[in-house]
Amino acid sequence: MRNGIARVKKHSPAAACILDAVLRAADPAFAVRNGLHSLQADGVFTKGQTIGLVAMGKASVAMARSACEELGAQIQGGIVIGKMMPEDVNRQLPVLTVLSGAHPTPDESSLAAGKAVIEFLESNKNLDYFLFLISGGASSLVTNPSAGISLEDLKRATSMLLGCGASIDEINTVRKHIDNIKGGGLARMAAPVPCISLVLSDVPGDRLDMIASGPTVPDLTTFRDSVDVLKKYALFDAMPVSVKEHLMDGIMGWIPETPKPGDDIFKNNRVMIVGSLEKSILAAVQEAEHLGYQCERIQPLLQGEAADQGKRLGRFLAEQAASVMPGERRCWVGGGETTVTLGDAPTGKGGRNQELALAAVEVLDGARNAVLIAFATDGDDGLSPAAGAIVTGNTMYAAGKLGLNAAEYLARHDSYSYFAALDAAIVSGPTGTNVNDLVILLVN
């Protein structure tokens, strides 16, 4: 993230410091180490016990490396699945099998990763524990479609869900009922070996059954809920036939539901959230206050259309900038996960964070000493090279000199092209962590 922070620092040194604090708080290695120490204090993973490790998600490498450093020879093998792997990953994790999956929609590599995880669990039932290290992105990186559903049908269903404006909870409700791994599926496959899960949450509200689609925890949703989501967004009829038939068979009771609370497979399992959006927001607030800002939380968590939230936050910041007293420093920090509803027309490059920022450009025009930053903590904002973007009261003026019209770029969801031309896109590369999206508002 160093390059991304340097980009932010050009516009606002204070914002760069706050962003750095956010990412330190979400450091996956630190989070796993603390989680393991807590478990060991409770008598879990005592010397001599054997462990199989499965790390899934965008923070999988750092989480797995930390676990290997702490547990050493107790780890008898395992699998690590991430998105973009460092070149020396095999040297970092010599006792583990390292695979890559695809994101945000699964592909053949995701399918291969899912098969490898299932085979690992089924062939290691002699171990004392399975340790799952779970972070955001695993829903796409690791997949095993339900019986009768092809990979192509799963990809099509996923793409439709991602583009319809549904919330992450709604998307994962459907995912859990068309994929064998999700919705407690891995816990079912691992039984009777106890499962210990350390989770880096990228889901607002930290619902365990929604983070990475809840592969090791009881599922609180049903086949009926999945169909209701698809009908809410007028997607059911357009879904692949195999997906519709599978969901309807589930409603009729012809195939079993996902495992629910009280199921014996969860009897000896434990789950711990070791990093989250909440922890990172708290770190941001503390850093802002350390820098001399009067800081407040943005409530509630951000959700809904990214453009709507961008306009709302932009108007709020413009009002605050107009009323702030000389010498006063104000800061607001929030987070969540917005959505972008794509139409049928061709779209440009961008993501929900850059779209939120682009929607704030016009309403922030002329606001003095105001800065708005929206970014994805994993460094990956949609179909673009950027993590997010920076907007100030001068952005619209600078864009006008280049002939850039914010409304036109917003209409075709081409936010990255707009901010890249202004050198205001935050391009960081993968950060190695993922606790969802954050927004920082400053008046200095």
Residues 176 and 247 in one domain: yes
Residue 421 DSSP SS3: helix
Return the number of other C-beta atoms located less than 10 Å from residue 245's C-beta.
13
In this prediction, residue 82 has a pLDDT band, given cuts at 50, 70 and 90, of: very high
Q: Are strands 437-443 and 370-376 parallel, antiparallel or unpaired?
A: antiparallel
In this prediction, residue 320 has a pLDDT band, given cuts at 50, 70 and 90, of: very high
Q: Which of 275, 301, 319 is the last residue of a domain?
A: 275
Residues 292 and 259 in one domain: no
Please report the pLDDT score of residue 269 as a whole number. Answer: 97
Give CA–CA dist 417/398, Å, rounded: 14
Residues 297 and 250 in one domain: no
Residues 131 and 58 in one domain: yes
Give CA–CA dist 181/186, Å, rounded: 5
- Of 341, 350, 353, the closest CA to residue 232 belongs to 341
51 beta partners:
75, 129
Number of domains in the chain: 2
The predicted-structure confidence for 256-298, as pLDDT tens digits, reads as follows: 999 999 999 999 999 999 999 999 999 999 999 999 999 999 9
The predicted-structure confidence for 296-316, as pLDDT tens digits, reads as follows: 999 988 999 999 999 999 999
Q: Are strands 51-56 and 75-82 parallel, antiparallel or unpaired?
A: parallel
Buried b (16+ CB within 10 A) or exposed e, 147-160: eebeeebbbbbbeb
**Helices 13-25, 2-11: crossing angle, 10 deg rounding:** 150
Please report the pLDDT score of residue 1 as a whole number. Answer: 54
**Tokens describing residue 126:** 């002699």
Task: Indicate the average pLDDT of the chain.
Answer: 94
The answer to whether position 196 is within a domain reads: yes
Please report the pLDDT score of residue 345 as a whole number. Answer: 67
Residue 328 DSSP SS3: coil
Residue 63: which CATH number? Answer: 3.40.50.10180
* Length in residues, the chain: 444
Residue 405: which CATH number? Answer: 3.40.1480.10
The answer to whether position 9 is within a domain reads: no
Return the number of other C-beta atoms located less than 10 Å from residue 255's C-beta.
16
pTM given for the model: 0.83
Q: Is the distance from CB of 339 to CB of 356 less than 8 angstroms?
A: no
What is the average pLDDT across 227-232? Answer: 98
Residues 152 and 199 in one domain: yes
Whether the predicted pLDDT of 346 surpasses 90: no
Instruction: Give the residue numbers spanning the domain of 143.
Output: 27-275
Spatial CB neighbours of 396, under 8 Å, sequence gap ≥ 6: 361, 362, 364, 365, 366, 406
Q: Which of 250, 275, 300 is the last residue of a domain?
A: 275
The answer to whether position 12 is within a domain reads: no
Whether the predicted pLDDT of 92 surpasses 60: yes
Residues 253 and 180 in one domain: yes
Give CA–CA dist 444/442, Å, rounded: 6
In this prediction, residue 432 has a pLDDT band, given cuts at 50, 70 and 90, of: confident
The answer to whether position 325 is within a domain reads: yes
The answer to whether position 335 is within a domain reads: yes
Buried b (16+ CB within 10 A) or exposed e, 320-329: bbeebeeeeb
Give CA–CA dist 318/149, Å, rounded: 50
Residues 303 and 371 in one domain: yes
Give CA–CA dist 423/434, Å, rounded: 24
Q: Which of 213, 247, 275 is the last residue of a domain?
A: 275
Spatial CB neighbours of 171, under 8 Å, sequence gap ≥ 6: 161, 162, 229
